[in-house]
Structure 1
Amino acid sequence: MPFENRIARANGNDFSCWFEGAGDKDIVFIHGEIHGKAYWEPQILEFMRDHRCLAYDRRGHHGSDNSTFGYSVENQTRDLRALLDHFGMQRPRFVALAFGTTIAANFANQNPERVESMLIGAWSELHDALSYLERWEVAGRRSAATLEAGGKKALVELLRREGGKTMYMVIPPEGDPMREPAIELMASHSAAHYRSGMLEVASSVPDLIPRFEKLDIPVLGICGADDPFKDNPEVLAGMRNFREAGLIEGGGRFVHWQQPETFNSIAREFLDHGRVR
């Protein structure tokens, strides 16, 4: 990776962070569940030219993987607030993906004055988090048992065989150049996180939509055409400054990684100019 890992202490936990760029505009990137900050590299390379960019491994992920509890959305919202304070980011733009969008939206509900605008990718978790519990419980148990029996190598092999087929359906299909990086990313957590941390996150998502759709901040939804859990813009039809971008072809759950030039172009039009293509 081209960036320096920085360890920031916030809300009682150590977080592995990238903090890059310069200027008077800030962006914070929030990854999804059993993902990691690594996949924001194409966005940071683009936006660090004229923004201060923060990406961090959420509690229990990768370089921040030292927490045995506290995965709830509320506690991870406290993590986010403490990290923004640590890095002096008063009113950043937010770019969040999947379960990262639940943290971003919960933060915005509680601190609307601290959000300039928000891009939410693959955001069905905002309103459909509980639907993940049953399949995550099965996949998580299988992942944890495989990891404990054979280590990360065994889990990678399992995800090569079954990822995107019978478990973790967001893993790109065979032939996609991002399949192996996604498998590596999703196989890099502790057994405890697969077994219980993921379930704590999904089961703790509050009813975000009623407060969120009343916020007067610009919000853009974005989704890959091949995402197995596509966005439902009707859910936020009552939000005055919400727009959903057109589906991006050639990308799924990790569309920002699979089609970074297209994603970055749409993101810049929205974040810098308020326009939606």
Structure 2
Amino acid sequence: MSGDQHFTTGDGCRIRYRLDGPDDRPVLVLSNSIATNLHMWDRSAPAFTRCFRLLRYDTRGHGDSEAPVGAYSLDRLGRDVVELLDVLNIDRAHFLGLSLGGFVGQWLGIFAPERIDRLILSNTSSYLASELPFDDQIRAVLTARDMDAIADGFMRNWFPATMLAAPKEIVDEFRTMVLTTPPRGLAGCYAALRDVDLRRAISLIAAPTLVIGGESDTVTRASHSEAIAAAIANAKLALLPGVHILNVEQMDRFNEEVASFLHAAP
């Protein structure tokens, strides 16, 4: 089975997912950043599918998944993944989440450890509410006439100046993802980030963990990655030269870090 599929969560939200790669390989789940969709992983998919059964999905409120009205919770975003694994009869999987996807990965490592083999947390944090004005961002996205200014802000946070200059095919692809994200979906996920603090709970994560951070990331800073790696027993830390969307900006190095971690002996 490959190509886009959908399933409906226990609370009635329709979620898009897709499976690629050999049926007999271990499953690697990829979870996207806020304001993107499963296509943010398109450039890494060919490398990952050589060795893994790749499971991608659109976070609720994003892409071709439904966008319920109101605040979402990290608990609900995590349960969406557990229910997706259940629907596909996948007992355990590796999990790679970037940014918001990294928050989801931390939740899974804490609250669904029996489902996670190895965990990769990229360009993420365990707590952002004290640093980002999420209520202001929720109001802004719900009242904006269009998403242009919001998309421009994301691009500045996600990519280095060299990539923002022409030609910028990749940046334009990601800008389109932001522009096509439903405002209420973005607002719902902002609320989830506003309301979560995992700084103490992540010490419970027992899965082998790789933390990847960007040396020039201005949102989920390198210090956030260092703090996560310090809190999780035996976690490995890899800081790469780059900003936020490292799977694109530093694709080869990113893929190498992921592959070497997943193939390493226990």
Q: Same fold (TM over 0.5)?
A: yes
Question: In structure 1, which of residues 145, 165, 168 is the aligned counterpart of residue 143 of structure 2?
Answer: 145
Q: Which SS does the other structure have where 2:103 is aligned?
A: helix
The answer for the alignment partner of 2:205 in structure 1 is 215
CA-to-aligned-CA distance 1:74-126 (integer Å, 9 cap, x gap): 111111110011122211111001121121111221121221111110122x1
Partner of 1:57: 58
Amino acid across the alignment from 1:216: A
Residue 34 of structure 2: aligned partner: 33
Contact in 2 for aligned 1:60/1:189 (Cα 8 Å): yes
Structure 1 gap segments, 5+ residues each: none
Paired AA for residue 130 in structure 1: A
Q: Following the alignment from structure 2 to structure 1, what is the Cα–Cα distance between the partners of residues 122 and 86? A: 24
Q: TM-score, normalised by structure 1?
A: 0.82
* 8 Å Cα contact 2:122/2:211 also seen in 1: yes
The offset of 1:70, in angstroms, is 5.8
Mapping for residues 1-277 of structure 1, pairs under 5 Å: 4-11=3-10, 12-22=12-22, 23-69=24-70, 71-124=72-125, 126=126, 128-131=127-130, 133-134=132-133, 136-146=134-144, 149=145, 154-156=146-148, 158-159=149-150, 162-164=153-155, 169-170=157-158, 172-173=160-161, 174-175=164-165, 177=168, 178-194=170-186, 196-205=187-196, 207-229=197-219, 230-232=221-223, 233-245=226-238, 247-249=239-241, 251-273=242-264
Structure 1 residues 183 and 138: CA distance shift in structure 2, 3 A: farther
Q: How far is 1:160 from its partner? A: 6.6
The sequence identity of aligned pairs, in percent, is: 20
C-alpha change, 1:238 and 1:51, in structure 2 (3 Å) is same
Note if contact 1:30-1:96 (Cα within 8 Å) is conserved in structure 2. Answer: yes
| Structure 2 Cα separation of the partners of residues 269 and 217 of structure 1 | 16
Counterpart CA distance in 1 for 2:159 and 2:119 is 25
Could you say what secondary structure the match of 1:64 adopts? coil
The alpha-carbon deviation at position 14 of structure 1 amounts to: 1.0
Equivalent residues of 1:28, 1:94 under 8 A apart: yes
Which letter maps to 1:131?
S
- Does structure 2 conserve the Cα–Cα contact (< 8 Å) formed by 1:117 and 1:217? yes
Gaps of 5+ in 2: none
CA distance in 2 between counterparts of 1:31 and 1:244 reads: 20
Q: Equivalent residue of 1:241, what SS? A: coil
Q: CA deviation at 1:137?
A: 3.6
The list of structure 1 runs, each at least 4 consecutive aligned residues, that deviate by more than 4 angstroms after superposition, is: 159-165
After TM superposition, the structure 1 stretch with the greater mean CA deviation from structure 2, 42-51 or 27-36, is 42-51
Does the aligned pair in 2 maintain the 1:70–1:76 contact within 8 Å? Answer: no
CA contact (8 A) 1:31 1:58 kept: yes
How many angstroms apart in 1 are the aligned matches of 2:100 and 2:153? Answer: 22
Q: Is the 8 A contact 1:133 1:199 kept in 2?
A: no
Q: Distance in 1 between matches of 2:82 and 2:95?
A: 12
Closer, same or farther: CA 132–181 of 1 in aligned 2, 3 Å: farther
Kindly indicate whether the alpha-carbon contact (under 8 Å) linking 2:32 and 2:98 is maintained by their aligned counterparts in 1.
yes
Displacement of 1:161 in angstroms is 5.5
RMSD: 2.4
1-structure distance, mates of 2:159, 2:143: 20
| SS at 1:62 equivalent | coil
Q: Name the SS for the 1:116 alignment partner.
A: strand
Deviation per CA, 1:139-171: give whole Å up to 9, x if none: 44344433xx3xxxx533x35765555xxx335
Give the whole-Å Cα distance in 1 for the aligned partners of 2:109 and 2:115.
Answer: 7
Secondary structure of 2:84's counterpart equals helix
The 8 Å contact of residues 73 and 103 in structure 1, kept in 2 or not, is answered as yes
TM-score, normalised with respect to structure 2: 0.85
Residue 67 of structure 1 and its aligned partner are, at CA, apart by 2.0
CA distance in 2, matches of 1:99, 1:130: 13
User: Cα offset for 1:133?
Assistant: 4.4
CA-to-aligned-CA distance 1:162-189 (integer Å, 9 cap, x gap): 5555xxx335532273332222122222
1:29 touches 1:96 (CA, 8 Å); kept in 2? Answer: yes
